[in-house]
Structure 1
C-alpha cells in the first residue's frame, strides 16, 4: 500500500479528521512506480471517455425505430426497388452502430431493429424473385433476433422462411419452418398477429399439397387467433405489430392468404369471394396500410377463379387481369410471375384455343411479365 500510494501506512490508515501527512512524513516516490500508476490511470480515463462516447441516447434510438417503422409502412404501398435500397442503407447504419458503438445498455434494442430490417430485406428478396438471397437475409435476421432475445422476431423470420418455401413450391419445408416458428411464438409474452400469419401460411401450404381438410382447419385457427387478439389484447401490441406495415398481419392480408388457399384446394367460388374481400378491405382501410402487391395478386386470383369456375366468366377474368395491367410498371412486382404462369396455363387449355378473349389475356400476361422482370433487374442498376 505504501508503494502504491506513496505514503506511510499509519497515515493511510489514519481517521478522516487526521491531518494530511507532511512532505517529511511521505515515503519517497519511486519513478518507475509512478510511471505504472500514471499509465494505469490514463488507460482508465481513456476507457471512461470511450464508454461515454458509445452511449446511444433515447432520441437516436427513437429516430432509428421510426425509420424502421416508416420503411415497414412504405413496403406495402410504395414501389419496392427504392424501399429495398433504403432498407440496405438502414441495415448498414444499424450494423455500424452495433460494431463501432456497442452500447451495452442499448444493444438488445439495436439488435432487434437490425433483425427487423434484415427480416424485411428477406421478404423483399423473395418478392423480387431471389429466394436464395431471402434465405441468407433470414439467417442474418435470426442471428440478430437471438442476440435481441426476442421470440416474436424469431417466429416472424421463421414464418417468412415458411412463406418463401411454400411460395417457391416446397410446401413440406414451409410447414416445418411454420412448426418451428410456432414454438417461438408461443413463448412470446404477447400473442400478436404472428400467430395469425403462421396459421395462414400453413393453410396455403396444405392447399398446395391438396390437403383440403388441413387447409380449412388452418384457416379456422387463423381466425380464432385473430379473435383472441382482438378480445384480449386490444390495447397491447407486440413489438412487430407496433412497427406495423409489412411487419404486422392485417385482416386484409389474412383474406388474401385464405383466397389463395381456397384456389389451391379447388374452391374457385370461395377463392373469388375471399379475394374480392381482400380488395375491398384494402380499399376501405387506411391508405398507409394499403398493399398494392397484395391487391395485384388478389386480382390475379380473381381472374384465375373466374376461369376455373364451372360457369366460366372469361369477360370477368379479363377485366380482373386488366386491373393488374393498368398498374404502373414499377408496381408490377416479380411475385406476380408465379400466379400469372398458373393463369396462363389455364388459358392454354384446349377449350380456350379458339377464344379471342383468352388470346388477348395471354398477351396481357406477357406484357405484365416483362414489367415484372424489369422490376427485378432494376435492383442491380
Structure 2
C-alpha cells in the first residue's frame, strides 16, 4: 500500500531530514531560534515525538498540532501547518504535443518541471528565512554594550581585580552569543563589545603588573576591531601597545605605534592621548624639543570632535585634562626638568581635586602626587615632598596599581640622593614608601597570565 504523501514529507525529503532522527534536531533548533526572535521562553523547549511526527508525515491528524508546534513548523518551512499536513500541490500539466514538437533545442537540455522550480524556490526561501531568523533580541546586545561602558566609566573607583573578573564575564557572554545571530549589524556590535572588553582587561592586567598579559589582550582587541574597521578602538589599542613599549624601555617602538595610530584617531581626545604617549617616549630618548612639541599638541587638539569610545564611553578609554597634565609631569620628570614636572603635576592635582568625589580618579591623584613628590625632591624640597606623599599613603592595597608602584620607585631613588639620604625626614619617608609598597594590587592576587585570559 502506498504511503500517504504530505507536503511536509515532500519538503522534509528534499531537505534531507525526512527521517525522524534528522528531523527532530532541526525542529528543536528552529524552536530555539524562534524563541530568541520573539523573546518567548515558552517556545524554546518545544520538541516532537516520533509517533506524532509519523502522523504529521501521513496527514493522519484529527486536529491541528499544538499552536507552538504550528509556529515552529511555519518557521521551518514558511508555510502554515494546515498546508504542510495536507497533500502536496499537483504537478503542472505538460504542454500540448504540437508545442513540444517545436522545442527541439530546448528538449535536448536537462528537463526541469515547474514543480521542481517552485520547490527549489520554496526551499531557498525557507533556508533564507531560517538564517534570517537567527538573531539576538536587541535588548541582549544592548545589555552587553551597557555593561562594558559602565565598567569603563567606573574603572577609576573599582578594585582592579573586580574589573578584570567582571569584564571577563562580559567577554564570555559575547563569545557564547556570536554564533546565535546571522545579522551583520549584530555581529559587528558583538565584535566591538568583545574588543572593548579585551581592551579593558588589558588595562587591568597592566595595573596588576602583568605586561605580557596586557600586550596579549591588546592584540586581541585589535583583532576584534580590524574586521569591523572601528577606528577609535584601533587607535586606542595601538596607543596601548605604545604605552607598553614605553614601560618596557622600547621608546623607538612606542613612537612607531603612535605614528601608525595617528591617522586612525579622529577625535580630539584620541589625538591628545597619542600626543601625550609620544611625548613620554621622546622623553626617554632625551629629545627636549619633541617633548615640548608633543605636549603643546595635546593642548591644541579640538576636544569638540568626539568619538564613541574615547568620549561617549570615556572612563578608562578617555583622556581627561588631568590625565594629560599627569602624563606631562611624567615626561618632564624623565627629562630631568623638575620645575616643569612640578608645575604639570600640580596642575593635574588641581584638576582632579576640582571634580566631584564620584568622578574623581583616585589613580590619577595618587600617581600625580608621587610625580609631584619626585619633582620636589629633585629640586631639594624635602618637606614639601613629604606633604605631597600624604594622599598616597591613604590608598587601600587594591588601588595601589603597578603604575603607581613604578613612580614610588622613582621617589625612593630621589630620596637616596647625596643631599637627602642622611636626613631623618628622608629616612622616615623612605621607610614609609617601602612599607607601603609591600602590599599592592599585584600582591593581593596572582596577576592574570595569557592562559587564563582565553583571549
TM-score (norm 2): 0.70
**Equivalent in the alignment of 2:92:** 7
Contact residue 135 and residue 180 of structure 2 kept, 8 A:
no
- Cα distance, 1:43–1:182 mapped onto 2, change above 3 Å: same
- Cα distance, 1:44–1:322 mapped onto 2, change above 3 Å: same
Structure 1 window deviating more from structure 2 (336-345 vs 287-296): it is 287-296
Instruction: Decide which of 178, 199, 219 is 2:295's aligned counterpart.
Output: 219
**Equivalent in the alignment of 1:348:** 416
CA distance in 2, matches of 1:168, 1:289: 30
CA distance in 2, matches of 1:108, 1:184: 18
CA distance in 1, matches of 2:222, 2:425: 48
Contact residue 252 and residue 277 of structure 1 kept, 8 A:
yes
CA-CA distance at 1:356 after TM superposition: 1.3
| RMSD, aligned α-carbons | 2.8
**Equivalent in the alignment of 2:235:** 155
- Listed as ranges, the gaps of 5+ residues in structure 1 are 12-28
2:281 counterpart of 1:205: yes
Contact residue 131 and residue 182 of structure 2 kept, 8 A:
no
TM-score (norm 1): 0.82
- Matched residue count: 345
Instruction: Decide which of 124, 129, 136 is 1:48's aligned counterpart.
Output: 129
2:146 counterpart of 1:66: yes
CA-CA distance at 1:198 after TM superposition: 0.2
* Structure 2 SS opposite 1:107: helix
Instruction: Decide which of 432, 436, 446 is 1:377's aligned counterpart.
Output: 446
CA distance in 2, matches of 1:288, 1:249: 17
- Cα distance, 1:240–1:95 mapped onto 2, change above 3 Å: farther
Instruction: Decide which of 292, 295, 316 is 1:246's aligned counterpart.
Output: 316
Structure 1 window deviating more from structure 2 (157-166 vs 371-380): it is 371-380
Contact residue 346 and residue 372 of structure 2 kept, 8 A:
yes
Where do residues 273-284 of structure 1 align in structure 2 (5 Å cutoff)? 273-284=343-354
CA distance in 1, matches of 2:155, 2:341: 25
CA distance in 1, matches of 2:180, 2:214: 26
**Equivalent in the alignment of 1:182:** 262
CA-CA distance at 1:168 after TM superposition: 2.6
CA distance in 2, matches of 1:347, 1:64: 48
**Equivalent in the alignment of 2:336:** 266
CA distance in 2, matches of 1:340, 1:203: 21
CA-CA distance at 1:379 after TM superposition: 5.8
Contact residue 152 and residue 184 of structure 1 kept, 8 A:
yes
CA-CA distance at 1:43 after TM superposition: 8.6
Contact residue 129 and residue 376 of structure 1 kept, 8 A:
no
**Equivalent in the alignment of 2:325:** 255
Instruction: Return structure 1 stretches of 4+ with deviation > 6 angstroms.
Output: 37-44
- Cα distance, 1:302–1:240 mapped onto 2, change above 3 Å: closer
Contact residue 191 and residue 225 of structure 2 kept, 8 A:
yes
Contact residue 108 and residue 149 of structure 1 kept, 8 A:
no
CA distance in 1, matches of 2:94, 2:322: 79
CA distance in 2, matches of 1:102, 1:140: 22
Relative to total residues, which structure has the larger helix share, 1 or 2?
1
Q: Deviations over 1:47-92 (max 9, x none)?
A: 634542x323433232222111100011122211101111111111
Contact residue 72 and residue 247 of structure 1 kept, 8 A:
yes
CA radius of gyration, larger in: 2
- Cα distance, 1:163–1:64 mapped onto 2, change above 3 Å: same
CA-CA distance at 1:166 after TM superposition: 0.9
Structure 1 window deviating more from structure 2 (334-343 vs 294-303): it is 334-343
Contact residue 344 and residue 365 of structure 1 kept, 8 A:
yes
CA-CA distance at 1:362 after TM superposition: 1.5
CA-CA distance at 1:38 after TM superposition: 8.2
- Cα distance, 1:270–1:307 mapped onto 2, change above 3 Å: same
CA distance in 1, matches of 2:125, 2:162: 46
CA-CA distance at 1:291 after TM superposition: 1.6
